[in-house]
Structure formats: C-alpha cells, structure tokens
Amino acid sequence: ASLPLAFHMKGLVDTLKLGDKVNDINETMIVLYQRGDTGMFWPLFRAAMPDQQDDPAGYAAFEETMITSRNKVMVEHAEPILAKGNVFMAVGALHLPGPEGLVEGFRKAGYTVTPVGL
C-alpha cells in the first residue's frame, strides 16, 4: 500500500501487454529456480520487459519496499521460530538472492543455509 497506485496500475498493464510471452517468462523462472540461479530473475525481467526500464526509481522503490525491507523483517521474525527447530519456511524466490536476500540474512544471523534438491 505504500507504493503509488499509478505504479501498481502500470505494472498490471505492462504484465497484460506481455500476452503469451508471460508463459515463457514463467517457464524461464522455473528453470532458473531449479538451477539455483534465482539471482537471474531481475536480469530476466529487465530483458523480457524493456519498456519497464523507463521508471528506474519506481522499480527501485518496489524492490526496497516489497523485497529488501520485508527480508529484514522476515529474518527477525523467523529467528525465534527457527531457534526452536523443526521448521519449514516457504518464501517467494525473489526473497532469496543477493546481499540483502534471505539466504545472506540467515547466514549473517549465524545459520547455515544449504540448498536442497527439488
């Protein structure tokens, strides 16, 4: 809700403009996820949707609000739960990669993060 409505509307329209191309993007995301290459999602989006590059500040705000700041909160809230053990945690794949991603957040918190096969 903290992002402008116009930003949300533009994102929806841009997604609809993709038409059948959205299926290719989804399949590519699945392959990248299976390979453990979630860090390639943003480059994929930039390559597949070059028209969205005209609002870099809007997308930086999106990434900060929807990914980075939420990652910090998720690590903080998960720590006491994880400390009890026997936890399964599911998150969207965009939350995993990068220096501000959950993988690094949990490593910085002292956890060992190991990928498992699908």
> How is residue 56 written in tokens?
């870099």
CA distances to 24, 35, 59 from 18, rounded to whole Å, are 10, 25, 18
SS3 41: helix
Which pLDDT does position 54 carry in this prediction?
A: 62
Give yes or no for a contact between 7 and 64, defined as CB atoms under 8 angstroms apart: no
Question: Do the domain assignments include residue 115?
Answer: no
Note the pLDDT tens digit of each residue in 31-88: 998 888 888 888 888 888 776 656 666 667 778 888 899 999 999 999 999 999 888 8
> Model confidence at 118, in pLDDT bands (50, 70, 90)?
low
Question: Do the domain assignments include residue 77?
Answer: yes
Question: Do the domain assignments include residue 114?
Answer: no
Provide the residue range defining the domain that includes 95.
5-108
- Asked whether the whole model's pTM tops 0.85, one would answer no
Note the pLDDT tens digit of each residue in 11-38: 788 888 888 899 999 999 999 988 888 8
Which pLDDT does position 109 carry in this prediction?
A: 93
Q: How many domains does the chain have?
A: 1
Question: Do the domain assignments include residue 94?
Answer: yes
Question: Do the domain assignments include residue 117?
Answer: no
Question: Do the domain assignments include residue 118?
Answer: no
| Burial of 37 from C-beta contacts in 10 A (0-12 / 13-18 / 19+) | middle
